Amino acid sequence: MQSWSSSSLPRIPGSPPPLRLYDTATGEIRPTAPSATARMYVCGITPYDATHLGHAATYLAFDLVNRVWRDAGHDVHYVQNVTDIDEPLLERAQRDQDDWVVLGMRETALFREDMVSLRVLPPTHYIGAVEAMSEISELVGKLLAAGAAYRIDDPEYPDVYYDSSATPDFGYESGLDERTMRQLSAERGGDPDRPGKRNPVDALLWRMARPGEPSWDSELGTGRPGWHVECAAISLNRLGAQIDVQGGGSDLIFPHHEFGAAHAEAFTGVHPFARHYCHAGMIALDGEKMSKSRGNLVFVSRLRADGVDPMAVRLALLSGHWRADRAWLPELLEQGNARMAAWREATRLDAGPSATDTVARLRTHLADDLDTPRALAAVDAWAQEARERRGRDSEAPGLIRDAVDALLGVAL
Ligand code: 5CA
Ligand code: ZN
């Protein structure tokens, strides 16, 4: 699929400390240690509705990872998928008498526009499940051949499932007990109660064609893939057996990322699949997680249509910590607007206080598990002094503007 266009990335003098991030699997904040090329896979949207502020917050968090690595001189090989065939997409298309392909393309196009407006750097590869169909079925075939998968004993629909006992340490990513796994599996697209599975949580790899459902020919029989194996195949084939960061929202910790990792590890034998499993907190509206299925949504495209500056949206979302579950409130947007105006005014002055310390603090806070509240406060302090006409450094406003652009993705 077509990715989206990139905004420029000014180079900032000096160098940042290594990026440390919280890893769900170990429960620790640990340094990332990418080689010259950092590898990141971030789960993309299921395009059955427009991008809401929860999605945007998650993609912004990983955009900062991308920016901090680039600031440290790494190339970033970044892959993102589009789940352009899945149950929710088919259900919505049916509800609205829409064609699922057209629905997916329309919402994906809108997502790209939202990402461009928010200045999210584009992935190197932006891949739809449909266009990756043959590589996905190939991986399922290999997992079957390796004995990591099995066909369920159902003469009508002998679907293929992943055997959770195929890797010795299944469960290491989420660290959940069996009961919780089973519960989350039922809530998040799994089918723990289906008879004939070796383990109730075992995840679907290949669903044989049902009447009226879209399907694809493959050596496994005509059908369509399960959700987790899509991301495993798309990632493995572009980023190799081990990645630096697997990203997504915390609703993907289980089963999605647990199974994605297990599929990849069962195939490659390389452990861990991701050196960091990183999960953004959930954005809530009116006390509940913002979600397409609940319908309590604030759309990025709606805000744009209402004339809201996307940079204020960006600042509003970055004002909270990326891992914290947090509420979206209209006040956040007001604060984002005020901050943007203050920073714009300060960086348009002829001179200001020296920017060296502020840039160093900005880098230090971002490297510390993306501590954006403190990073924003560092820029606030500089902007305040500049507006009080303290300091005579004529280079400083330009340097702050460049640093805010490169590191926070905010164009002033
Ligand atoms: N297509 C799959 C991933 S392969 C999927 O989860 N799609 S999604 O459209 O439902 O979500 C896209 C991304 O936004 C995921 O990383 C998800 O964890 C994140 N997300 C969804 N809702 C929220 C929310 N309320 N707050 C923060 N992030 C969210
Ligand atoms: Zn995914």
What does the longest C-alpha to C-alpha distance in the chain come to? 80
Q: What is the pLDDT of residue 195?
A: 95
Are 27 and 323 a contacting pair, CB within 8 Å?
Answer: no
Residue in the block written with tokens 């989350």 = 184
- Give the chain's length: 412
Interior/surface letters 182-197, b for 16+ CB within 10 angstroms, e for the rest = bbbbeeebbebeeeeb
Q: What is the pLDDT of residue 286?
A: 81
- pLDDT, one tens digit per residue, over 356-376 is 999 999 999 999 999 999 999
Decide: residue 145, CB within 10 A, 0-12 exposed, 13-18 middle, 19+ buried. Answer: exposed
- Determine the distance separating the centroid of ligand 2 and the alpha carbon of 330, expressed in angstroms: 30
- Determine the distance separating the centroid of ligand 1 and the alpha carbon of 114, expressed in angstroms: 15
Confidence band for 288, pLDDT divided at 50, 70 and 90: confident
Give the ligand at the shortest distance from the Cα of 320: 1
**Beta partners for 126?**
80
Confidence band for 315, pLDDT divided at 50, 70 and 90: very high
Q: What is the pLDDT of residue 285?
A: 87
Q: What is the pLDDT of residue 21?
A: 99
Q: What is the pLDDT of residue 154?
A: 94
- pLDDT, one tens digit per residue, over 10-58 is 999 999 999 999 999 999 999 999 999 999 999 999 999 889 999 999 9
Q: What is the pLDDT of residue 367?
A: 98
20 contact partners, CB below 8 Å, separation of at least 6: 29, 30, 31, 32, 367, 368, 369
Are 165 and 129 a contacting pair, CB within 8 Å?
Answer: no
Residue 304 CB less than 6 A away from ligand 1: no
Q: What is the pLDDT of residue 25?
A: 98
Tokens encoding 236 = 């493995």
Q: What percent of the chain has pLDDT over 90?
A: 95
Q: What is the pLDDT of residue 8?
A: 79
- Determine the distance separating the centroid of ligand 2 and the alpha carbon of 168, expressed in angstroms: 22
Q: What is the pLDDT of residue 250?
A: 98
Distances (CA, A) of 21 to 57, 60, 231, 273, 290: 17, 15, 22, 17, 25
Give the ligand at the shortest distance from the Cα of 41: 2
- Decide if pLDDT at 392 tops 80: yes
Give alpha helix (H) positions in 240-369: 258-268, 300-305, 310-318, 330-347, 356-367
Q: What is the pLDDT of residue 114?
A: 97
- pLDDT, one tens digit per residue, over 151-196 is 999 999 999 999 999 999 999 999 999 999 999 999 999 999 999 9
- Decide if pLDDT at 77 tops 80: yes
Ligand 1 atom index nearest CA of 282: 26
Residue 127 CB less than 6 A away from ligand 1: no
Residue 129 CB less than 6 A away from ligand 1: no
Q: What is the pLDDT of residue 233?
A: 98
Residue 289 CB less than 6 A away from ligand 1: yes
Report the distance separating Cα 285 and Cα 149, nearest Å: 40
- Decide if pLDDT at 291 tops 90: no
Does this model's pTM top 0.75? My answer is yes
Protein residue closest via CA to atom 3 of ligand 1 = 43
Q: What percent of the chain has pLDDT over 70?
A: 100
Q: What is the pLDDT of residue 41?
A: 99
379 contact partners, CB below 8 Å, separation of at least 6: 343, 358, 362, 400, 404, 408
- pLDDT, one tens digit per residue, over 79-119 is 999 999 999 999 999 999 999 999 999 999 999 999 999 99
- pLDDT, one tens digit per residue, over 190-232 is 999 999 999 999 999 999 999 999 999 999 999 999 999 999 9
Of 188, 165, 192, 189, nearest to 179 (Cα)?
Answer: 192
Q: What is the pLDDT of residue 360?
A: 98
Q: What is the pLDDT of residue 358?
A: 98
Report the distance separating Cα 377 and Cα 390, nearest Å: 18
Confidence band for 289, pLDDT divided at 50, 70 and 90: confident
400 contact partners, CB below 8 Å, separation of at least 6: 343, 346, 347, 352, 355, 358, 359, 379, 382, 383
Are 224 and 181 a contacting pair, CB within 8 Å?
Answer: no
Pocket test of ligand 1: the residue of 24, 51, 55, 227 to mutate, having most ligand atoms within 8 Å of its CB, is 55
Q: How many CB atoms are located within 10 Å of the residue 270 CB?
A: 12
Residue 58 CB less than 6 A away from ligand 1: yes
Confidence band for 292, pLDDT divided at 50, 70 and 90: confident
DSSP line for 164-224: GGGSTTTTTTT---HHHHHHHHHHTT--TT-TT-SSTT--EEEEEP-TTS--B--TT-SEE
Average pLDDT of the chain? Answer: 96
Give the ligand at the shortest distance from the Cα of 44: 1
Q: What is the pLDDT of residue 252?
A: 98
Give Rg (Cα) of the chain.
22
**Beta partners for 377?**
none
